[in-house]
Homo-oligomer: A and B are copies of this chain.
Amino acid sequence: MTKAGKMPRTHSADLGQVDRKALAAAIEECFASTQVSTACADACLREQTIAELVQCVGTSLDSADISDATGRVLLRHTGHNGHLTRATLEACITACKACGDDCEQHTGTEHCRSCGETSRRCERACGELMTSLS
């Protein structure tokens, strides 16, 4: 776990009812998803089979952008707007699921296998944070 993942604990007074462990895990996985999806999209572009991977590149880029925004929103989480947190998590879960579904079809390619796994972890961590908010 990075320093960043631990960061939210430093202004603990604002966190209200949030499960801090679930929050830190979701933040960690969002930024891992951004990185791995960005790298996977780039690696797909360099495959000779790129013509078959274009949808995978698109869902990876979507997942990278949404995970990034979600990670930033969660890092700013104050417990005051649960509605925004939930809607953002739902978008991230949906984007990571789409990316995971696409990448899992190319498990013979190392970067897609890795990206599929990372996407599933992010989908799960965001789902667990969502559950803890209810």
Contacts and interface: CB of A to CB of B under 8 A. Distances in A.
A110 interface: yes
Contacts of A83: 94, 98
Contact of A59 (B65, B81, B88): B81
Instruction: Please give the count of copies of this chain that the complex contains.
Output: 4
A65 B58 contact: no
Interface string A108-126: 0011001000100000000
A26 to B, nearest CB: 12
Contacts of A111: 7, 10-11
A32 B51 contact: no
Contacts of A42: 11, 58, 61, 75-76
Contact of A51 (B50, B59, B61): B50
Interface of A: 2-5, 7-8, 10-11, 13-14, 27, 31-32, 34-36, 38-43, 45-46, 50-51, 54-55, 57-59, 61-62, 64-66, 68-69, 71-73, 75-76, 78, 80-81, 83-84, 87-88, 90-91, 93-95, 98, 110-111, 114, 118
| 4 closest residue pairs by CB, A with B | A4-B35, A7-B39, A69-B69, A87-B94
